[in-house]
Structure 1
Amino acid sequence: MPMEIFKEFTFQAAHRLPNVPPSHKCHRLHGHTFKVALHLRGPVQEPYGWVMDFADIGQAWEPLHQQLDHHFLNEVEGLSNPTSENLARWIWRKLRPTFPMLCQVVVHENTTCGAIYRGEDD
């Protein structure tokens, strides 16, 4: 029976949403401490007793962290409109080739708002 695991990461970044009206608060430059949870589903591998080594997930995340942390997200290739939804999809597309067991990417832009992407568009 498959097991689902997750590993969470945080990064700080600035962005603005260019497609909302100028009167909308998110049209202005602002920042967040984003939290990202990567969920993977698969069988428990024996003799290790795990689905995957969490360190391997961390290694795969590191290049994305370097691209995102303390950057202006609108300038990151593929994130010209960096909503939580688009960020979750962008992360999925970057990591899914490495992790076929990736089943969900969760992005929190603060403690009460975020997006969940499960690869529906891919």
Structure 2
Amino acid sequence: MFRIRKEFHFSASHQLSHLPDDHQCARLHGHNYIVVVELAAEALNDDGFVRDYHDLKPLKTYIDETFDHRHLNEVLDVASTAENMARHFHDWCAARWPETSAVLVSETPKTWAEYRP
């Protein structure tokens, strides 16, 4: 299996207001997010790629226009956890690129959430 990954960055605020008041994530706060999309294929295309990295530019545009410097509670229909965001980005990517195999989302240098069907 061949796998490629591409990383994207954005900054945004959110609040997990369903958590208890004394939970730090219940307060309004922000992160510098990293989104990594992974694509996989059993065989390479005629150009020797799983997919040309340039083909992933629409994801950068989507992130920049929809998520960057936004309040995620106003963008997502679900709680703005890293886990839900990984699923959201996976579904968005898989609808465009069937080779999408996983998406990872980081809120901090030490934390990662992954969605891999």
Amino acid at match of 1:111: P
In structure 1, the partner of 2:55 is 56
1:51 Cα deviation (Å)? 1.1
State how far apart, in whole Å, the 2-side matches of 1:110 and 1:58 are: 24
- Measured after TM superposition, the shift of residue 66 of structure 1 is 1.3
State the 4+ residue runs in structure 1 displaced beyond 6 angstroms.
none
Q: What is residue 75 of structure 2 aligned with on the other side?
A: 76
Number of equivalent positions: 116
Q: Percent identity?
A: 34
Output one character per residue of 1:64-106: Cα deviation in whole Å (capped at 9) or x when no partner.
3311000000001424x10000111111122211111100000
Output aligned runs, 1:1-122, within 5 Å.
Answer: 2-42=1-41, 43-46=43-46, 48-79=47-78, 81-119=79-117
1:78, 1:90 within 8 Å by CA — same for their partners in 2? no
Q: What stretches of structure 1 of length at least 5 have no aligned partner?
A: none
- 8 Å CA contact 1:34–1:108 kept in 2: the answer is yes
Instruction: With the length of structure 2 as denominator, give the TM-score of the two structures.
Output: 0.92
CA RMSD of aligned residues (A): 1.2
TM-score, length basis structure 1: 0.89
User: Which secondary structure does the structure 1 equivalent of 2:108 belong to?
Assistant: coil
Which runs of no fewer than 5 residues in structure 2 stay unpaired?
none
Deviation (angstroms), 1:63: 1.6
